[in-house]
């Protein structure tokens, strides 16, 4: 099978999964039960758009992505995350802002067609120096004083989940990814 045909097949399967009742029902139940965002993203990271599925982002991440430099940093972290999860299976990491994110591959046979993603939470209560480090990482000059104020507010409103509870949520998603893969 040619590379182009495989790519088209992957996109078709991904779209069917995204539109399935099973995915929609589980996404809604997961968000309601955990308070965390959950989304299915394509296996091709070049097609990602950080503005898609805003209802499945934390308010801090949504606010942060007003800045191109922040979007680029988020995309870099997410590309590395899904690359690792395509090799190792369920994988978690911390982004430059200290938030945890996780990726679980969804397969059609042996082909990865997408990733279940969740996170954008802290696993420990953030401190003022954590916020300052995150803003300095991107460059404070990319934001107005009003934007910094909003980022500060949303940063400290971000959900904090214990590491044990977060891992349990990842286990739930891993089981669901196996169901979708089947």
Query: In which residue ranges of the chain is pLDDT below 50?
Result: none
Q: Are 13 and 108 in contact (CB under 8 A)?
A: yes
Q: What is the pLDDT of residue 137?
A: 86
Task: Tell me the two tokens of residue 114.
Answer: 């997408």
In this prediction, residue 58 carries a pLDDT of 81
Sheet order of strands, 91-94 included: 38-42, 111-121, 100-108, 91-94
What whole-number distance in Å separates Cα of residue 45 and Cα of residue 129?
A: 32
Name the strand (E) or helix (H) holding 119: strand 111-121
| pLDDT for res 61 | 84
User: Which helix or strand (DSSP H or E) is residue 105 part of?
Assistant: strand 100-108
Residues 6+ away with beta carbon under 8 Å from 98: 122, 126, 130, 133, 134
| Structure confidence at residue 131 (pLDDT) | 96
pLDDT of residue 7: 65
pLDDT given at position 62:
83
- For 35-72, the pLDDT digits (tens) are 898 999 888 766 665 555 555 578 888 888 777 767 77
3-state secondary structure of 92: strand
What is the pLDDT at residue 132?
A: 95
């Amino acid at each position: 099978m040619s590379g182009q045909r495989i790519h088209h097949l992957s996109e078709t399967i991904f779209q069917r999964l995204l539109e399935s009742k099973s995915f929609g029902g589980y996404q809604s139940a997961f968000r309601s039960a955990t308070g965390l965002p959950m989304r299915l993203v394509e296996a091709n990271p070049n097609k990602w758009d950080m503005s898609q599925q805003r209802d499945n982002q934390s308010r801090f991440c949504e606010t942060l992505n007003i800045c191109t430099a922040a979007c680029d940093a988020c995309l870099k972290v997410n590309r590395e995350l899904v690359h690792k999860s395509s090799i190792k299976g369920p994988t978690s990491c911390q982004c430059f802002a200290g938030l945890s994110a996780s990726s679980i591959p969804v397969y059609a046979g042996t082909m990865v067609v997408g990733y279940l993603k969740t996170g954008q939470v802290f696993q420990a209560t953030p401190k003022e120096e954590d916020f300052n480090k995150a803003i300095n990482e991107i460059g404070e000059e990319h934001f107005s004083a009003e934007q910094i104020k909003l980022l500060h507010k949303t940063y400290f409103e971000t959900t904090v989940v214990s590491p044990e509870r977060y891992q349990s949520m990842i286990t739930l998603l891993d089981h669901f990814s196996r169901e979708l893969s089947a």
